[in-house]
Structure 1
Amino acid sequence: MATSTKSYRVRIGGVADGGNPTPDLSPRAAFERWLGRLRASKADLTVSGYHYQLKLFIEFCEQEGITSIDDLSGWDIDTYETHRRKKGVELNSLSKELGTLKRFLEYCARIEVVDESLPEKVDPPDVPRDAQVDETRLEPHRASALLSYYDEHAYGTRPHALLTLAWYVGARLGALRGLDIDDYDSDEAYLEFIHRPREDTPLKNGADGERAVGLSREVCDVLDAYLEGERHENYDDYGRRPLFTSEVGRGSRSAIRSWTYLATVPCLHTECPHGHDPETCEYLDYSKSSQCPSSRSPHQVRTGSITWQLNRGVPIEAVAERVNTSVRTLKRHYDQPTKREELEERRREHVDKLGFDEDEDDQDAVGENGGEQE
Structure 2
Amino acid sequence: MQEKNIPPHDGVQRYLNDRKPELSQKSLYNYRISVNQFADWCTDQNIRYLRELDGDLIAQFKDYRLEQVATITARNDMRVIKNFIEFCESIHAVFSGLAELVRIPKTTEQDEICDDFLTKEEADAILEFLGKHQYASHRHVILLLLWKTGARISGLRTLDVDDIDSTGPTVQIRHRPDTGTPLKNDERGERNVFVTEETMEVIQDFIEHQRPNTTDEYDRKPLIATRHGRAAHTTIQRHVYSATRPCNYNGGNCPWDKRPETCEANTWDGASKCEGSVSPHALRRGYVTAARNAGQPKDVTGERVNMSGRVLDKHYDKGNHQEKANRRQDHLRDI
User: Same fold, TM exceeding 0.5?
Assistant: yes
Is it true that 1:207 corresponds to 2:186 in the alignment?
A: yes
Describe the SS at the equivalent of 1:191.
strand
Q: Do 1:267 and 1:278's aligned partners in 2 also have CA atoms closer than 8 Å?
A: no
1:181–1:136 CA distance, 2 compared to 1 (3 A): same
Query: What's the secondary structure of 1:258's corresponding residue?
Result: helix
- The structure 2 residue matched to 1:232, chosen from 212, 235, 258, is 212
Structure-2 separation of matches of 1:288 and 1:30: 31
Q: What do you get for the CA RMSD once the two structures are aligned? A: 4.7
Structure with the greater alpha carbon radius of gyration: 1
Q: How far has the Cα of 1:136 moved from its partner?
A: 2.8
Do the aligned partners of residues 328 and 34 (structure 1) sit closer, same or farther apart at CA in structure 2, a change above 3 Å counting?
farther
Contact 1:46 1:204 in 2 (8 A): no
> Measured at CA, do residues 337 and 181 of structure 1 come closer, stay the same or move farther in structure 2, by a change above 3 Å?
same
Point out the more displaced range, 234-243 or 118-127: 118-127
Worse overlay, 85-94 or 170-179 = 85-94
TM alignment of 1:1-374, pairs within 5 A: 35-36=16-17, 38-54=19-35, 77=55, 80-81=58-59, 84-85=62-63, 88=67, 90=69, 91-101=71-81, 124-151=104-131, 154-199=134-179, 201-203=180-182, 205=184, 207-208=186-187, 210-218=189-197, 219-267=199-247, 269-274=249-254, 286=268, 288-325=270-307, 327-332=309-314, 334-339=315-320, 342-344=321-323, 346-352=324-330
CA contact (8 A) 2:115 2:318 kept: no
TM-score between the two structures when normalised by the length of structure 2: 0.71
How many corresponding residue pairs? Answer: 326
**What is the one-letter code of the residue matched to 2:120?**
P
CA contact (8 A) 1:41 1:206 kept: no
Q: Whole-Å Cα distance in 1 between the matches of residues 128 and 147 of structure 2?
A: 13
Q: In 1, Cα distance between the equivalents of 2:258 and 2:31?
A: 43
Please list every run of 5 or more consecutive structure 1 residues that lacks an aligned counterpart in the other structure: 1-10, 13-23, 361-374
Distance 2:130 2:26 in 1: 32
CA distance in 2, matches of 1:343, 1:52: 40
Identity %: 25
Displacement of 1:198: 4.8
Looking at structure 1, the residues matched to 270 and 58 of structure 2 have their Cα atoms a distance apart, in angstroms, of: 38
Aligned residues of 2:175 and 2:186 also touching (Cα < 8 A): yes
**Cα distance change of structure 1 residues 149 and 302 upon mapping to structure 2, 3 Å threshold:** same
Q: Could you say what secondary structure the match of 2:230 adopts?
A: coil
CA–CA separation in structure 2 for the residues paired with 1:212 and 1:279: 41
One-letter amino acid of the structure 2 residue matched with residue 348 of structure 1: N
CA distance in 2, matches of 1:280, 1:121: 49
Q: 1:257 to 1:32 in 2, by over 3 A?
A: closer
Equivalent position amino acid for 2:166 in 1? S
CA gap of 1:316–1:164, structure 2 versus 1, over 3 A, is same
1:81/1:331 Cα in 2 relative to 1: closer, same or farther (>3 Å)?
farther
Say whether the 8 Å CA contact 1:156–1:226 is kept in structure 2.
yes
Cα shift readout 1:98-133 (whole Å, capped 9, x = no counterpart):
3334556788999xxx9xx99777552322344444
Unaligned residue ranges in structure 2 (runs of 5+): none
Deviation at 1:214, TM superposition (A): 1.4
Distance 2:11 2:261 in 1: 54
* 8 A Cα contact 2:161 2:222, kept in partner: yes
Change (3 A) 1:56 1:264: closer
- 1:135–1:336 CA contact under 8 A, matched in 2: no
